[in-house]
Structure 1
Amino acid sequence: MINKIGKVTVYVNDQEEAKDFWLNKVGFVLKFEQEMAPGMAWIEVGPSEEEFTTLVLYSKPAMEQYNSSAVAHPSILFSTTDIESAYEKMQQNGVEVEEMQRMPYGTMFSFKDQDGNSYLLREDKHIK
């Protein structure tokens, strides 16, 4: 099922400013960057090339414009190497899961814990 804590979402007012902060002030490395939609990129930074867990720097204004409940997007993203199996097993275990989403950068679904907190489980295309 879940292999690791993969990503932690950080909502930022300016993605380039945040990227500069994490790369040039904190010393992180750029792990991945790809345009998601006009004015919004998927930017991942982490402590090193070897470290699996990353911060995803989401544009808060763009996410709010795209989806007014953007800040409700799960801030913890778990990773798996077998999304189909994890989805099926969680359903069998009675976990509330949302519909699977297939995007160019990975396949994912949201699920909720016993208190209704939302999380995301994702199988990344760029992670082997």
Structure 2
Amino acid sequence: MINKIGKITLYVNNQEEAKEFWTKKLNFVVKFEQVMGPNMKWIEVGPSDSEFTTFVLYDKNLMKSQKSDANVLHPSIILSTSNIDDTYNELKNNDVNVNDIMKMPYGSMFSFKDQDGNEYLVREDKY
């Protein structure tokens, strides 16, 4: 039985820039990092050491060279927070490109872009 979301692969232009973005601007931690060959590194980041789900930061060009028909378009990802205002202000203070908070009948959310221009949505959820 599947009971957790394990990993979400983000295809990035530069793994080190992506790692810096997630760890320095969003305060994620590196959960796993290992050289996997002469031109490949496996990097996983997550919101905390105790969080199971991680983002795998995978090089777009490497994936295309390994599998020419691979779809390296950015996935749709919704991140969760229990306090939308604090999260919004933290990201904005860290110079993250954020859009205005949208207050909808079904919840509050905002979008932001990473170092490669990929867009993510942050939604307030009650835990």
SS in 1 for 2:5: strand
Corresponding residue for 1:43? 43
**Which 5+ residue runs of structure 2 have no aligned equivalent?**
78-127
Q: Within the alignment, does 1:60 sit opposite 2:53 as a pair?
A: no
Instruction: Give the CA deviation at 1:75.
Output: 9.1
Corresponding residue for 1:33? 33
Q: Deviations over 1:75-104 (max 9, x none)?
A: 99xxxxxxxxxxxxxxxxxxxxxxxxxxxx
State the AA in 2 paired with 1:60: K
| Segments of 4+ moved more than 4 angstroms | none
Q: Within the alignment, does 1:22 sit opposite 2:22 as a pair?
A: yes
The 1:75–1:37 alpha-carbon spacing in structure 2 relative to 1, beyond 3 Å, is: farther
> After the TM superposition, which residues 1-128 of structure 1 pair with which residues of structure 2 at under 5 Å, given as runs?
1-70=1-70, 71=72
Q: Percent identity?
A: 67
**Which 5+ residue runs of structure 1 have no aligned equivalent?**
77-128
Q: TM-score, normalised by structure 2?
A: 0.53
CA distance in 1, matches of 2:55, 2:63: 16
Instruction: Give the CA deviation at 1:19.
Output: 0.4
State the AA in 1 paired with 2:63: M
SS in 1 for 2:2: coil
Aligned residues: 75
CA distance in 1, matches of 2:7, 2:14: 19
Instruction: Give the CA deviation at 1:40.
Output: 1.5
CA distance in 2, matches of 1:38, 1:69: 22
Q: TM-score, normalised by structure 1?
A: 0.53
